Structure 1
Amino acid sequence: MVTEDKDETLVVLTKPISLEGDSDVYQAPNLVRRILSLFKNVRPGSDLTNFQAIQLPPLFNIPKSHLQCYGESVYAVCEDLLHKCNSAENSQERFISVVAWSISLTRPTIFGCAPYNPVLGETHHVSKGSLNVLLEQVSHHPPVSALHATDEKENIEMIWCHNPVPKFYGIKVEAEVHGRKQLKLLNHGETYVMNSPSLLIKFLPPGLDWVGNVKIHCQETSLEAELCYSTNSFLGHKGAHSIKGRIYQSSSMKTLYEVKGHWNSIVTVKDTNNGKERVIYNAKEVISGLKTPTVKDPQGVLPSESAAVWSAVSEGIQSKNWDKAKEVKKAVEEKQRELVKDRNSRGQTWVPKHFNLSYTKEGGWDCSPIHTWVPPAPIVVPL
């Protein structure tokens, strides 16, 4: 844990969740029973997005916000996969590198613990080298998070829009992640558009994994990928953390490469022309031994920064002072309700500071950044 104090504003930063997990996170006794008790008044099939009865006590929180977790999937890496995407010698090799990078965004999670739900207008701004990452919670009901990341050295841009929709199915919760991710390799004039897998939380037997179909498309090269994330069946058939799919030319639908492996270990591609197989992703090399961000410029940290908004709650969780954590978490949530009440009384509509938010014809949310480049952040990841 890193704690910074400036002008009585506390900033608490914690280690990114890595492949090794986080042994410091408190695991409550009788965990499954405690979790199921939260859903005792929820009907199977219910959308939990705006279900007010589900309010996680700090006992079930990890000491960071969802915004921080989204950001970590971009900046918390031990291998520069973005440089590989940019420097590959041809369009097919760049596409394969983008597939590997997209898999790296799939991160381990901790059963029984969840990040804080970001408050409206919450931000997370972090730099790693020349990569600058900025996130903002652009909507609270429904929850929509926006991400903009730029690297002027590599001439790369990322734009994401995340809208998680969790649903309860009796013995499991499946959180579909609506919205799209864009990766732009500006030197090559290529834009890669992709969606996200869903997070599956199983209570019996207890466990979690990423599942569902992911599609990656580059209009400029007509290359596409279809990836299927799957897990163990209810009967226990092996398949946890697995990925299987293909890379193909959309114009001819011809399969160029077959993809297989596990997102938490090794993923390979096999060339269908010559049968040669090679490793494109090694999770141990990318998401192990991740470094905790530090505050480089205390005066530059915004009051809306995730690590400041939730600092007192994170301190309570880290020290296992659950009464304190519960009290300060309630204070954060009450403050937000008062701000909403005040805006409503004035007839004001809240407007995001860093993004334009729109609702698409396809029935989903889309975000576009207001600024061309993300500035360097006051919080940095050590190289």
Structure 2
Amino acid sequence: MSQVTETDFGSKAVITAPLSLECEESDSNYRAPNIIQRILSLLSNVRPGSDLTRLQLPPQFNIPKSQLQCYGESVYSIGFDMLKKCTEEKTSLNRFVSVVAWSISTVRPLPFGVAPYNPILGETHHVSRGTLNVLLEQVSHHPPVTALQATDEKENIEMTWCQSPIPRCHVTGTHIETEVIGKRQLKFIDKNETYTMNSPKLVIRFLPVPGVDWLGNVNVRCQETGLEAELSYRGNSFLPRPSIYRSIKGKIFLSSTSETVYEINGHWDRTVMAKDVSTGKTTIIYNAKEELSGLKTPIVKDSKAVLASESTVVWSEVSRAILQKSWEKAREPKSCIEEKQREIARERKSKDDDWAPKYFMVSHTKENGWDCLPINKLVPTAPILVND
């Protein structure tokens, strides 16, 4: 057996299958514990007079991956290279329709009652698929802010995300709503086109039927072409209605005249169609079953090039124990990671030492919120790959 060196972090990495349409079955080794087990494990950590704001979720409530991985997967884990298809379209209108379809593909289903790990400050995730290289970094912990840069030099694609999830418990206690603050930007350099878009809200509903859904309005816009899309993600409000559940309704129009070009209808976990209002012709622009099924799990290609800050390394002990359903074994390293995070924060505060991200320049204003600019123009090839 070969000896593992101190810099051979890749050998420690634990990489689980990406979230797919069958999210509960997305990894053959992972099954979410029974909901009753999860609730009992949570209650076992609550004591009379305890500060609930400092309550740590037991590992039974975690899927074996970080939120950074979930964001990254929505870009590099897909059944077909939709971004390449976008750039190959001959007209700006067809490219815009393809970008709308791609933005829908970034929405993935999540199992109820479990969540990814909250990334620690400075945590990174670096994965390549073909010529697309994707890099994420956690640039703030309180509030949580994640920055993403992806580049494809061959296809002339650049992408930057800067987003922060803000959870709010509804006054009635029936659901928790997480608004993903920030913008996503996609550039086709050789086409001189820049697309900006936002994310729908993630809603965890407890009553009347427990579930997780994406809801709210999404706007996609290309300033250079004047094309814009308004999409409404809808779900059940009280009684189950299959026609409404996980549905999308919207339009693509010209910003200058508000003239509708396409009407958008469908379901983001099934198919989405675009109807040309001038001809009445309807075309399927997105098929979730084709794009989000049978997704391949990334593999470590260059073990010694994996960073200590890599998500799959940072949380490896916790993930390995969760996959084994060894909850006490998972609790200890999870608590150690979280306590070390707080200890470093206290030490930094005592020294009045400002932490700076390694890969992004970060700014924040009350008017515009968070902004994350990549320090390097191109993302290098990653030591973790998705094989096509």
TM-score (norm 1): 0.93
Letter in structure 2 aligned against 1:256: V
Q: Decide which moves more: 360-369 or 70-79.
A: 360-369
Q: How far apart are residue 155 of structure 1 and its match? A: 0.6
- Alignment partner of 1:234 out of 234, 238, 251: 238
Letter in structure 2 aligned against 1:224: E
Seen in structure 2, the aligned counterparts of structure 1 residues 86 and 327 have a Cα distance that, compared at 3 Å, is same
Instruction: Tell me the distance in 2 between the aligned counterparts of 1:237 and 1:316.
Output: 39
Question: Does structure 2 conserve the Cα–Cα contact (< 8 Å) formed by 1:27 and 1:112?
Answer: no
Partner of 1:196: 199
Return structure 1 stretches of 4+ with deviation > 2 angstroms.
4-9, 22-29, 31-41, 51-55, 235-238, 360-363
1:282 and 2:287 equivalent? yes
Instruction: Tell me the distance in 1 between the aligned counterparts of 2:55 and 2:73.
Output: 26
Question: Does structure 2 conserve the Cα–Cα contact (< 8 Å) formed by 1:32 and 1:206?
Answer: no
Q: How far apart are residue 37 of structure 1 and its match? A: 5.7
1:376 and 2:384 equivalent? no
Partner of 2:33: 27
Cα deviation code 1:31-61 (max 9, x no counterpart): 68559969999xxxxxxxxx73342110000
Letter in structure 2 aligned against 1:11: A
Partner of 1:91: 92
Q: How far apart are residue 28 of structure 1 and its match? A: 2.5
Instruction: Tell me the distance in 2 between the aligned counterparts of 1:312 and 1:128.
Output: 26
Seen in structure 2, the aligned counterparts of structure 1 residues 242 and 156 have a Cα distance that, compared at 3 Å, is same
Partner of 1:47: none
Instruction: Tell me the distance in 2 between the aligned counterparts of 1:34 and 1:200.
Output: 23
Instruction: Tell me the distance in 1 between the aligned counterparts of 2:234 and 2:4.
Output: 44
Question: Does structure 1 conserve the Cα–Cα contact (< 8 Å) formed by 2:109 and 2:212?
Answer: no
Question: Does structure 2 conserve the Cα–Cα contact (< 8 Å) formed by 1:5 and 1:11?
Answer: no
**SS class of match (2:376):** coil
Instruction: Tell me the distance in 2 between the aligned counterparts of 1:142 and 1:213.
Output: 23
**SS class of match (2:121):** coil
**SS class of match (1:211):** strand
Letter in structure 1 aligned against 2:284: V
Cα deviation code 1:327-381 (max 9, x no counterpart): 1100111111121122122221000110011114534111110000000001001
Q: How far apart are residue 187 of structure 1 and its match? A: 1.1
Instruction: Tell me the distance in 1 between the aligned counterparts of 2:40 and 2:131.
Output: 44
Identify unmatched segments of 5+ residues in structure 1: 42-50
List aligned pairs for 1:89-238, cutoff 5 A. 89-169=90-170, 170-204=173-207, 205-238=209-242
**SS class of match (1:183):** strand
RMSD: 2.0
Question: Does structure 2 conserve the Cα–Cα contact (< 8 Å) formed by 1:100 and 1:281?
Answer: yes
1:263 and 2:263 equivalent? no
Identify unmatched segments of 5+ residues in structure 2: none
TM-score (norm 2): 0.92
Cα deviation code 1:104-144 (max 9, x no counterpart): 00011111110000000000000001000000000000000
Instruction: Tell me the distance in 1 between the aligned counterparts of 2:365 and 2:319.
Output: 36
Q: How far apart are residue 29 of structure 1 and its match? A: 3.9
Instruction: Tell me the distance in 1 between the aligned counterparts of 2:35 and 2:164.
Output: 31
Seen in structure 2, the aligned counterparts of structure 1 residues 38 and 273 have a Cα distance that, compared at 3 Å, is farther
Cα deviation code 1:252-282 (max 9, x no counterpart): 0000000010001100000000100000000
Partner of 1:245: 250
Partner of 1:46: none
Letter in structure 2 aligned against 1:342: E
Partner of 1:302: 307
Question: Does structure 1 conserve the Cα–Cα contact (< 8 Å) formed by 2:165 and 2:179?
Answer: yes
Seen in structure 2, the aligned counterparts of structure 1 residues 237 and 265 have a Cα distance that, compared at 3 Å, is closer
Instruction: Tell me the distance in 2 between the aligned counterparts of 1:230 and 1:290.
Output: 26
Instruction: Tell me the distance in 2 between the aligned counterparts of 1:317 and 1:244.
Output: 38
Partner of 1:348: 353
Letter in structure 2 aligned against 1:139: S
Q: How far apart are residue 316 of structure 1 and its match? A: 0.7
Partner of 1:273: 278
Seen in structure 2, the aligned counterparts of structure 1 residues 187 and 38 have a Cα distance that, compared at 3 Å, is farther
Seen in structure 2, the aligned counterparts of structure 1 residues 39 and 96 have a Cα distance that, compared at 3 Å, is farther
Question: Does structure 1 conserve the Cα–Cα contact (< 8 Å) formed by 2:193 and 2:224?
Answer: yes
**SS class of match (1:52):** helix
Partner of 1:335: 340
Q: Say how many residue pairs are matched.
A: 371
**SS class of match (1:210):** strand
Q: How far apart are residue 156 of structure 1 and its match? A: 0.1
Instruction: Tell me the distance in 2 between the aligned counterparts of 1:185 and 1:213.
Output: 24
- Alignment partner of 1:322 out of 327, 336, 357: 327
Q: How far apart are residue 235 of structure 1 and its match? A: 2.8
Q: How far apart are residue 217 of structure 1 and its match? A: 0.6
Instruction: Tell me the distance in 2 between the aligned counterparts of 1:359 and 1:223.
Output: 29
Instruction: Tell me the distance in 2 between the aligned counterparts of 1:39 and 1:58.
Output: 12
Letter in structure 1 aligned against 2:18: P
